[in-house]
């Protein structure tokens, strides 16, 4: 394959690419080939390239939800398509298309700036818009699946672009069809139905308290966005300052009977009722109760600000961070009988 510029060909190829600044853990890793695609119409051509057909493939967005534990012995493909536009204005809501390469936080700010409601709880989540449906990102009681109408993707199996509606995406807690069938689909865009009026979600993780501290008695969507930004900035370390991917573990969902038993033994354990006799437990509380908050082993550690955030203090390798994560999983399971699952993809 021959290197080319993104503007000239719609995609750019880099050989022996350094990935250390393309993952938010900032761990050292290289790829045999890095292909940045700026025009989704060229994906059939890209997948027809010889090196792509005969090499392992890893699809990477902004690298904010992945832990690289080694060099990648093949092709890393990055969708970098850009653009946001209103497809259909329905008065009380609008259908908005966002291309996969747009920064998610920039898109949330765009939505608020254009008078749309509901996205404020999802502000300041790192990563690309294309990664949002893969992970079904969520924060402060809101998930992106509540807004997604359609996801456009290139299906490697079929060799063509496909459009999947909300139901076909099989969204679940921090999960989707795209995550379960990793590297089959390249998400190229998402279409979201954004309302202009929506009831505020204020009952999660200190949002009301933050608004009170801001002396806002009658908040609007922009005020809630400001409150969430203050909360996230205070609780979560900035990946630009210290390597991390935000919350490393999912909150475990368990049968209510098990949750009640655990809470009888541990009254301080936070829990939230779920569907069909299920209950969601606080992974952060479980990790902190096992003594890991603030722990440091070399340059791999757990943030002092939030027990769910694993961090790279400088020169930790991905394997060192993975080993620490595994020790946390094993310790929590031994003490509480709960097996934590990672949020990021571990390569």
Answer yes or no: do 131 and 68 share one domain: no
Domain end point (choices 35, 53, 79): 79
Question: Domain with 103 in it: what CATH number?
Answer: 3.30.465.10
Answer yes or no: do 91 and 71 share one domain: no
Q: What is the pLDDT of residue 6?
A: 57
Answer yes or no: do 102 and 63 share one domain: no
Identify whether 200 is part of a domain.
no
Identify whether 317 is part of a domain.
yes
Q: Which residues are catalytic?
A: 174, 247, 343
Domains in the chain, number: 3
Rounded CA separation 123/139 (Å)? 9
Confidence check: pLDDT of 222 > 60: yes
Tens digit of each residue's pLDDT (9 = 90 or more) over 249-306: 999 999 999 999 999 999 999 998 888 899 999 999 999 999 999 999 999 999 999 9
Answer yes or no: do 60 and 145 share one domain: no
The DSSP symbol for 295 reads -
Which domain covers residue 96, as residue numbers?
84-195
Domain end point (choices 79, 108, 125): 79
Q: What is the pLDDT of residue 40?
A: 95
Identify whether 246 is part of a domain.
no
Question: Domain with 18 in it: what CATH number?
Answer: 3.30.43.10
Using alpha carbons, list the distances in angstroms from residue 267 to 146, 204, 261, 262, 332: 32, 19, 10, 8, 17
Rounded CA separation 97/85 (Å)? 5
Rounded CA separation 89/83 (Å)? 17
Identify whether 219 is part of a domain.
no
Percentage of the chain beyond pLDDT 90 is: 92
Q: What is the pLDDT of residue 3?
A: 47
Give yes or no for a contact between 287 and 307, defined as CB atoms under 8 angstroms apart. yes
Which residues have a Cβ under 8 Å from the Cβ of 181 and sit 6 or more positions away? Answer: none
Identify whether 1 is part of a domain.
no
Tens digit of each residue's pLDDT (9 = 90 or more) over 132-172: 999 999 999 999 999 999 999 999 999 999 999 999 999 99
pLDDT mean over 178-190: 93
Backbone angles phi, psi at 269, to 5 degrees: -65, 115
Percentage of the chain beyond pLDDT 70 is: 98
Tens digit of each residue's pLDDT (9 = 90 or more) over 314-336: 999 999 999 999 999 999 999 99
The two tokens of residue 55 are 């090499």
Domain end point (choices 195, 215, 236): 195
Rounded CA separation 33/51 (Å)? 8
Q: What is the pLDDT of residue 107?
A: 98
The two tokens of residue 316 are 């930790």
Confidence check: pLDDT of 183 > 90: no
Question: Domain with 320 in it: what CATH number?
Answer: 3.90.78.10
């Amino acid at each position: 394959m021959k290197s080319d510029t993104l503007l000239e060909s719609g995609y750019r190829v880099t050989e022996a690419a350094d990935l250390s600044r393309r993952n938010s853990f900032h761990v050292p890793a290289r790829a045999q080939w890095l292909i940045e695609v700026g025009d989704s119409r060229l994906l059939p051509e890209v997948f027809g390239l010889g090196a792509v057909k005969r090499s392992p493939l890893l699809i990477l967005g902004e690298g904010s939800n992945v832990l690289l534990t080694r060099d990648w012995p093949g092709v890393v493909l990055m969708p970098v398509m850009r653009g946001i536009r209103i497809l259909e204005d329905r008065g009380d809501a609008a259908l908005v298309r966002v291309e996969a390469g747009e920064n998610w936080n920039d898109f949330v700010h765009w939505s608020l700036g254009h008078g749309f409601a509901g996205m404020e709880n999802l502000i300041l989540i790192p990563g690309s818009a294309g990664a949002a449906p893969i992970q079904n990102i969520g924060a402060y009681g809101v998930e992106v699946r509540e807004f997604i109408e359609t996801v456009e993707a290139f299906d490697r199996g079929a060799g063509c672009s496909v459009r999947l509606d909300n139901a076909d995406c099989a969204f679940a807690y921090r999960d989707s069809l795209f995550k379960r069938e990793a590297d089959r689909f390249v998400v190229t865009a998402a279409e979201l139905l954004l309302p202009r009026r929506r009831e505020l979600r204020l009952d999660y993780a200190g949002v009301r308290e933050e608004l009170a501290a801001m002396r806002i008695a009658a908040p609007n969507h922009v005020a809630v966005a400001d409150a969430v930004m203050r909360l996230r900035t205070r609780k979560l370390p900035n990946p630009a300052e210290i390597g991390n991917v935000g919350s490393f573990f999912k909150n475990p969902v368990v049968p209510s009977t098990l949750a009640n038993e655990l809470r009888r033994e541990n009254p301080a354990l936070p829990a939230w009722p779920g569907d069909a006799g299920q209950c969601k437990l606080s992974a952060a509380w479980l990790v902190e109760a096992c003594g890991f908050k603030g722990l440091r082993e070399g340059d791999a550690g757990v943030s002092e600000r939030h027990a769910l955030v694993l961090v790279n203090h400088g020169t930790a390798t991905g394997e060192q961070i993975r080993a620490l994560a595994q020790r946390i999983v094993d310790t929590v399971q031994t003490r509480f009988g709960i097996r934590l699952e990672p949020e990021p993809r571990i390569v």
